[in-house]
């Protein structure tokens, strides 16, 4: 048997660009690899890991590249695959030589190191999925979502008022850092004693965020680790933002300026719809009219 021909005839499963984006979106929302694979019918868990790495590194353009350009298996696994699929065995040393000859060596994962720094400032989940508020600015929720639709990765930090679903503050930037979160929070005047819910991301458990909340008299609340349902309102909003704009129109490759414009228009329309819709609990007034009345 010609093992060289066998080696290069091994087919890889091809996935659509939309599937790849959906996988990384689910990963960002806290779903496990097993759940993602089951939902999207993905056969190889290393695919999800690879797509996630590209997504985080701002290399989403690679989602549309030709199949076979990513090499995640080393010579030992390739040897095992060939021997499982064909009756004529091949030695791992021969596979290694063939891979080296054709520059097919997999990338080695860098060793993870433990970061020693300031302790995490975590807190309890005060909401317990009871997403209710009796008045504006009583309970807020915040989160960051990825916007991999431009020439480089962008990040949207949003703060939502649970009372009426209004996005009361947001910022888009090309860096997911502490400034993104703190700048978003500094956009609004928050009454003392307001609850601000978030996940346990490093920017929300940092000392800088903790200190800013203390200065503003904000009561922090946090989801359980890896439980996006604990922050469902804003998770749902970010998901709808993408599905109703970029995904529905298959708009996956814009300039960053256009991406920002699309997001800002969506947020504006969302707020207008929520603010102008009359609600029975407000005496059939819109949230805007109600706030003006009680001010």
Say which CATH number the domain at 235 has. 3.30.420.10
| Claim to verify: residue 238 and residue 287 sit in the same structural domain | yes
| Claim to verify: residue 8 and residue 154 sit in the same structural domain | no
The answer to whether the CB of 226 falls within 8 A of the CB of 35 is no
| Claim to verify: residue 158 and residue 288 sit in the same structural domain | yes
Q: Indicate left, alpha or beta for 181 from its phi (over 0: left) and psi (-120 to 50: alpha).
A: alpha
Q: Residue 55's pLDDT is what?
A: 76
How would residue 112 be classed by pLDDT, with cut points 50, 70 and 90?
Answer: low
| Claim to verify: residue 223 and residue 269 sit in the same structural domain | yes
Q: Residue 156's pLDDT is what?
A: 96
How would residue 69 be classed by pLDDT, with cut points 50, 70 and 90?
Answer: very low
Asked whether residue 151 is domain-assigned, the answer is yes
CB atoms under 10 Å from CB of 54, counted, come to 19
Which of 53, 86, 101 terminates a domain? The answer is 101
Alpha helices per DSSP H over 111-244:
178-185, 207-216, 232-242
Q: Quote the CA–CA distance of 138 and 173 in Å, as a whole number.
A: 27
| Claim to verify: residue 81 and residue 11 sit in the same structural domain | yes
Nearest-CA neighbor of 160 among 139, 129, 182, 176? 139
Q: How many structural domains compose the chain?
A: 2
Which of 77, 101, 125 terminates a domain? The answer is 101
| Claim to verify: residue 147 and residue 220 sit in the same structural domain | yes
| Claim to verify: residue 152 and residue 28 sit in the same structural domain | no
| Claim to verify: residue 153 and residue 12 sit in the same structural domain | no
pTM above 0.75, yes or no: no
| Claim to verify: residue 277 and residue 165 sit in the same structural domain | yes
Mean pLDDT, rounded, of the chain = 81
| Claim to verify: residue 147 and residue 91 sit in the same structural domain | no
Asked whether residue 133 is domain-assigned, the answer is no
Range of the domain at 47: 3-101
Q: Quote the CA–CA distance of 181 and 2 in Å, as a whole number.
A: 58
Lowest mean pLDDT among 40-49, 170-179, 280-289: 280-289
Asked whether residue 225 is domain-assigned, the answer is yes
Asked whether residue 186 is domain-assigned, the answer is yes
Asked whether residue 154 is domain-assigned, the answer is yes
Asked whether residue 209 is domain-assigned, the answer is yes
Nearest 10 degrees: Cα torsion 131, 140, 191, 194: 50
Q: Quote the CA–CA distance of 99 and 107 in Å, as a whole number.
A: 12
How would residue 167 be classed by pLDDT, with cut points 50, 70 and 90?
Answer: very high
| Claim to verify: residue 30 and residue 153 sit in the same structural domain | no
Dihedral sign for Cα 130, 233, 213, 134, please. Answer: negative
Which tokens hold the place of 209? Answer: 């965020």
Asked whether residue 134 is domain-assigned, the answer is no
Rg (CA), the chain: 24
Asked whether residue 248 is domain-assigned, the answer is yes
CB atoms under 10 Å from CB of 62, counted, come to 15
Lowest mean pLDDT among 49-63, 97-111, 167-181: 97-111
Which of the listed ranges 67-71, 216-220, 280-284 does the model predict with the highest average pLDDT?
216-220
User: Could you give phi then psi for residue 159, rounded to 5 degrees?
Assistant: -125, 125
Starting at the edge strand found earlier in the chain, the sheet holding 219-222 runs: 166-173, 154-161, 139-147, 195-198, 219-222
Which of 101, 127, 161 terminates a domain? The answer is 101
Q: What are 184-241's pLDDT values in tens digits? A: 999 999 999 999 999 999 899 999 999 999 999 999 999 998 888 899 999 989 988 9
Q: What are 74-107's pLDDT values in tens digits? A: 778 778 877 776 667 888 888 888 777 776 666 6
């Amino acid at each position: 048997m010609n093992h060289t021909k066998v080696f290069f005839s091994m087919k890889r499963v091809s996935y659509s660009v939309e599937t790849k984006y959906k996988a990384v979106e689910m990963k960002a929302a806290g779903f496990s690899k097993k759940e993602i694979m089951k939902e999207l019918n993905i056969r190889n868990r290393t695919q999800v890991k690879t797509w996630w790495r590209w997504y985080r590194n701002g290399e989403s353009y690679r989602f549309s590249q030709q199949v076979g350009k990513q090499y995640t298996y080393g010579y030992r696994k390739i040897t095992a695959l060939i021997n499982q699929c064909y009756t004529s065995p091949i030695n791992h040393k021969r596979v290694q030589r063939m891979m080296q000859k054709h520059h097919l060596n997999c990338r080695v994962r860098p060793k993870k190191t433990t970061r020693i720094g300031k302790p995490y400032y975590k807190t309890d989940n005060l909401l317990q999925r009871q997403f209710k508020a009796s008045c504006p600015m009583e309970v807020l929720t915040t989160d960051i979502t990825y916007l991999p639709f431009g020439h480089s990765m962008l990040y949207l930090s949003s703060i939502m008022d649970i009372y009426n679903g209004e996005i009361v503050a947001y910022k888009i930037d090309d860096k997911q850092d502490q400034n993104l979160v703190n700048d978003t929070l500094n956009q609004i005047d928050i009454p003392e004693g307001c609850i601000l819910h978030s996940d346990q991301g490093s920017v929300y458990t940092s000392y800088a965020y903790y200190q800013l909340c203390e200065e503003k008299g904000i009561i922090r609340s946090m989801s359980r680790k890896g439980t996006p349902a604990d922050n469902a309102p804003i998770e749902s909003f970010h998901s709808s933002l993408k599905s109703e704009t970029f995904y529905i129109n298959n708009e996956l490759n814009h300039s960053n300026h256009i991406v920002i414009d699309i997001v800002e228009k969506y947020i504006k329309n969302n707020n207008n719809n929520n603010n102008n819709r009359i609600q029975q609990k407000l005496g059939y007034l819109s949230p805007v009219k109600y706030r003006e009345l009680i001010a």
